[in-house]
Chain A
């Protein structure tokens, strides 16, 4: 029993780290744009596909493909915000959400054409190694994925807390018009924050791909998990997203170990509905943030 509890806790926290990487980008995008990015999970899967292709064709280790993906996705994200999404800010945000839904569809359809609908996973030389921690055997890739996610999250935290850009992003999240008033170039900050969010989603792709199997349609499942996390965390609260990732990661592991892996995603949906009923602003969200 204790064995199961400890295993659930450790595996859950490790998975939670990867969830945090997936959801922090979406949370930040929601913060600056007040818009749910429905393409987030499909963008992540694009990262997974790029990593698996680089590995199979050129033998690039998935961890090394992360910087490549981050660089590419920063550029693409910035261009997309400038060219398409940015137009809707201050206008009809419902349309912006539908645009991101369109992005999800195009990515899913494109992936279906290029990589077909078969299952993929990223297999490296160390995929089946385990790590012995006080008698508990933990797959090495779970630790690597959580560590990599931690590195990227710390980098994001450093950017947000120590740089002028980070201060501008946080100001824009808190109050867009006041940020503009005190001289923040909110249009540029929004573009950069969106690009960072997209890059974080892409960076989560290879890590997800090492731990799970996926196919183009999987992005709905992951999208459902990610939106549940950011609602539980409080939408634009990055700390809330981190906390919610850990809670849901552990809860999911307990359901997987105790009941059945098929019901694991249900944990996310039930948490979401309960939170909506009793604390609609989320764990660490403030009441009036969720406008628009």
Chain B
């Protein structure tokens, strides 16, 4: 078990690095690329939604905003998106910190509402500022100058790198004083504040880190589609997926989002492609909706934590029945 914990992640990384050599079909690489994208965003979401216990439903706003920022940088200044993605991510964090300053100085639901309204606001700006964004007809980006059979590889490795960065950040935060402070905020914000934690600052920082990953992913995704429009960039399903994947995997764990994405993304794809056309457009919505009700009711801790608890119970249970307890003799025995 300890061996898996120590070397498992590295083994997984090596496998992921080598996969494009073995798997050549673009459809599979496309699915893996998206799985990494969601894994990174979900792990990022969890830093705010899991550790600090403040669920955001507006991360998709950062995803979409960054799609536009990176797209506009490319169209107007010719900046390659792979070069600008990290900077666009930092810009997202800066906006996140500003939004946090507005909504996180107080406790409670204001944050959730402000994140929702932020996503709606940025989408509306993208729709209505025609001169800048092209309005509802969208923004066409120049294609990458690569042959079609390898064009997916840069995205594959970039999203993989983003996932690794997200898991590493989350692991680091979890082990740090900062992470401990966030967990304290989730448990009891009043007491956390009383014990000397600057709760507002902690929450704002956590949110800034949290949206970084959605922002970078949004920038890369714009180039992946070679196209940005208000409906695609701000598709609410993207934001919902982050939340549900973190819930499925387990909140407040570095790997929860990864596990959630690995389980959920392929299943959603399968459902979309196998169900009749009449339903397929609505399937992801209904599927995520049902999960959002069932998981909190029946598996509130997610898969990882539930498994850990199960393993813990198993480990404590003695293997050999202890000798100081005897079963009562069967009735009627001689």
A-side residues, CB < 8 A to B, are 30, 34-36, 38, 84, 87-88, 92, 94-99, 101-110, 112-113, 117, 220-221, 223-224, 227-228, 231, 235, 262-263, 265-266, 268-269, 272-273, 276-277, 280-281, 290-292
15 sample A-B contacts, Cβ–Cβ < 8 Å, listed by A number: A97-B55, A102-B289, A105-B289, A106-B289, A109-B285, A110-B282, A113-B282, A235-B109, A263-B128, A266-B121, A269-B121, A269-B124, A290-B110, A291-B107, A292-B108
Complex Cα distance A221/B300, Å?
Answer: 30
Q: Are B247 and A109 in contact (CB under 8 A)?
A: no
The one of A87, A106, A269, A281 that contacts B290, using a Cβ cutoff of 8 Å: A106
Q: Are B296 and A272 in contact (CB under 8 A)?
A: no
Please give me the residue from chain B that is nearest to A270 by CB atom: B121
Q: Give the one of B117, B128, B278 with max A CB within 10 A.
A: B117
Q: Give the one of A96, A112, A276 with max B CB within 10 A.
A: A276
Complex Cα distance A92/B50, Å?
Answer: 12
Chain A residues with CB under 8 A of B297: 84, 87, 99
Q: Is B97 in the interface zone, CB < 8 Å from A?
A: no
Chain A residues with CB under 8 A of B146: none
Q: Give the one of A38, A102, A108, A117 with max B CB within 10 A.
A: A102
18 extra A-B contacts, CB within 8 A, seeds A96-B296, A101-B240: A34-B108, A87-B297, A97-B109, A102-B291, A102-B293, A105-B285, A108-B289, A109-B283, A113-B279, A223-B116, A227-B116, A228-B117, A231-B113, A272-B113, A272-B114, A273-B102, A290-B107, A291-B108
Chain A residues with CB under 8 A of B300: 92, 95
Q: Are B293 and A280 in contact (CB under 8 A)?
A: no
Q: Is B68 in the interface zone, CB < 8 Å from A?
A: no
Q: Are A112 and B114 in contact (CB under 8 A)?
A: no
If A98-B55, A109-B285, A231-B110 touch, whether A276 touches B102 (CB-CB below 8 Å) is yes
Chain B residues with CB under 8 A of A231: 110, 113
Complex Cα distance A99/B290, Å?
Answer: 9
Q: Which of B272-310 contact A (CB under 8 A)?
A: 278-279, 281-283, 285-286, 288-293, 296-297, 300
Q: Are A221 and B110 in contact (CB under 8 A)?
A: no
Q: Is B103 in the interface zone, CB < 8 Å from A?
A: yes
Chain B contact-residue range equals 35 or more
Q: Is B92 in the interface zone, CB < 8 Å from A?
A: no
Q: Is B140 in the interface zone, CB < 8 Å from A?
A: no
Please give me the residue from chain A that is nearest to B50 by CB atom: A94
Complex Cα distance A269/B236, Å?
Answer: 18
Q: Is B57 in the interface zone, CB < 8 Å from A?
A: yes
In the complex, number of A-B residue pairs with CB atoms less than 8 Å apart? 130
Chain B residues with CB under 8 A of A269: 117, 120-121, 124
Q: Is B105 in the interface zone, CB < 8 Å from A?
A: yes
The one of A94, A105, A106 that contacts B55, using a Cβ cutoff of 8 Å: A94
Q: Are B53 and A94 in contact (CB under 8 A)?
A: yes
Chain A residues with CB under 8 A of B296: 88, 92, 95-96, 98-99
Q: Is B54 in the interface zone, CB < 8 Å from A?
A: yes
Q: Is B206 in the interface zone, CB < 8 Å from A?
A: no
Please give me the residue from chain B that is nearest to A281 by CB atom: B106
Q: Is B243 in the interface zone, CB < 8 Å from A?
A: yes
If A101-B240, A265-B120 touch, whether A35 touches B279 (CB-CB below 8 Å) is no
The one of A95, A103, A227 that contacts B117, using a Cβ cutoff of 8 Å: A227
Complex Cα distance A235/B108, Å?
Answer: 11
Complex Cα distance A227/B58, Å?
Answer: 14
Complex Cα distance A104/B243, Å?
Answer: 14
Complex Cα distance A279/B261, Å?
Answer: 39
Chain A residues with CB under 8 A of B94: none
Chain A residues with CB under 8 A of B278: 113
Q: Nearest Cβ distance between residue A37 and chain B, in whole angstroms?
A: 10
Please give me the residue from chain B that is nearest to A39 by CB atom: B289
Complex Cα distance A281/B106, Å?
Answer: 9
